[in-house]
């Protein structure tokens, strides 16, 4: 069981690192494409580089929300599993376990909402 948890932790850490590294690369691509589009756009024409910039923004936002939801979903699943296990072992402590579970789920969901906000910022601000 400990090996499985270590492997899952390693995979999650790798996904987080990829997500952190993917956003700056996409932002750089978007900025470079935006500069090309500003130079080559005439009379409202949409160039290929402007479409590429929109595609890069969508890709960065998708990666951001996807990794946030993936990590949050795995964390919520593990938390619910452990709380159900704890309640089955000690039914008299179910109130305390449930309260702690709900507080933990709120914090996990907050991290997912932050990922969504970052994705919205990538799409509309950059």
Residue 123 has pLDDT above 70, yes or no: yes
Residue 1 has pLDDT above 70, yes or no: no
Angle at 30 between CA 25 and CA 34, to 5 degrees: 150
Residue 61 has pLDDT above 60, yes or no: yes
Any idea which fold 2-124 has? F1FO ATP Synthase (1.20.20)
Residue 7 has pLDDT above 70, yes or no: yes
Write out the DSSP string of 21-65.
HHHHHHHHHHHHHHHHHHHH--TTPPPHHHHHHHHHHHHHHHHHH
pLDDT over 90, % of the chain? 29
Q: Report the pLDDT averaged over residues 72-81.
A: 91
CA 57/CA 31 separation, integer angstroms = 10
Position 81 scores a pLDDT of 93
Report the mean per-residue pLDDT for the chain: 78
Q: Residue 82 — pLDDT band, cuts 50, 70, 90? A: very high
Highest mean pLDDT among 28-37, 43-52, 57-66, 108-117: 108-117
Name the residue ranges covered by the structural domains of the chain: 2-124
CA 40/CA 10 separation, integer angstroms = 45
- What is this structure's pTM? 0.58
């Amino acid at each position: 069981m400990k090996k499985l948890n270590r492997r899952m932790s390693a995979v999650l850490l790798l996904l987080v690192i990829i997500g952190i590294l993917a956003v700056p690369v996409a932002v750089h691509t978007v900025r470079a494409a935006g500069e090309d589009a500003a130079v080559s756009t005439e009379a409202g024409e949409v160039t290929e580089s402007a479409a590429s910039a929109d595609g890069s923004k969508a890709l960065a936002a998708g990666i951001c929300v996807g990794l946030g939801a993936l990590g949050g979903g795995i964390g919520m699943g593990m938390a619910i599993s452990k709380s159900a296990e704890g309640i089955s072992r000690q039914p008299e402590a179910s109130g305390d376990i449930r309260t702690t579970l709900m507080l933990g789920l709120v914090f996990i969901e907050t991290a997912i909402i932050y990922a969504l906000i970052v994705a919205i910022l990538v799409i509309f601000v950059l």
